[in-house]
Amino acid sequence: MEREYLRKEAQIGVIVFNPTDGGGDDYKQLSDNVWLVKPRYVIMLASLLREVLVKVFIANRNAEGKDVKIEMIYNYLTGGEFSNRIRYIIESYDEMAKQLDLEKKQAQRRWAAQEKIIQKVTNSLYGMSGDLQGITGKEIIALPTGEDDETELETAKLEEPIITPMKTGDDDDEY
């Protein structure tokens, strides 16, 4: 058996036996790669062993050239191509960060300018409202100020509007 096993360069050996007394083990591993099995278990064992052999073959094939692959990776990581790619990535990142910072500063300047314009408009409105109140007294509703803007607007809506008679050309005789 061993000579045949070596001559065929087999990786696994299976001996099929048919016991005459009907007892004993159905299958048994005699050594590392030699199995003793009854006929009814041959197909099951063959399928199992085939699957194992296929997995071993794939593992061996994947391991082939492992040293070469490791050396290639080492050469790539220590070579100029890898460092150039890393340098390019860092430069691109820096450029993008600078561009984003510039856009942020421009937006802040634009917002500040718009805020100043809004402040000028608001100040002009309050100034005009104050001027009109100075001229007419309390007949004109004052613009709300500060945090209580909504409360003042609601209060102003609830008060009765002040109606002042307007002069027309026909009313000259009253004065």
* 118-170 per-position pLDDT tens digit: 999 999 998 888 888 888 877 777 677 665 555 554 544 444 444 444 555 55
Which residues are registered as beta bridge partners of 27?
A: 37
What are the pLDDT digits (tens) for 3-25? 666 666 677 777 787 776 656 67
Residues 148, 22: Cα–Cα separation, whole Å: 102
pTM of the model: 0.40
Q: Which residues neighbour 130 within 8 Å (Cβ) at sequence distance 6 or greater?
A: none
User: Where a domain ends, among 13, 30, 64?
Assistant: 64
Where in the sequence is the domain holding 74, given as residue range(s)? Answer: 65-141
Half-sphere exposure of 57 (CA within 13 A, CB side): 7
Judgement on whether residues 24 and 87 belong to the same structural domain of the protein:
no
* 149 within a domain of the structure (yes/no): no
Q: Which residues neighbour 21 within 8 Å (Cβ) at sequence distance 6 or greater?
A: none
User: Where a domain ends, among 64, 80, 104?
Assistant: 64
* 162 within a domain of the structure (yes/no): no
* 125 within a domain of the structure (yes/no): yes
Helix residue ranges, H only, the chain: 2-7, 42-63, 66-78, 80-136, 149-158
Largest CA distance in the chain: 146
Task: Provide the 8-state DSSP code for 9.
Answer: T
CB-based contact 15:2 (threshold 8 Å): no
Name the percent of the chain lying above pLDDT 70. Answer: 73
For the chain, how many structural domains are there in total?
2
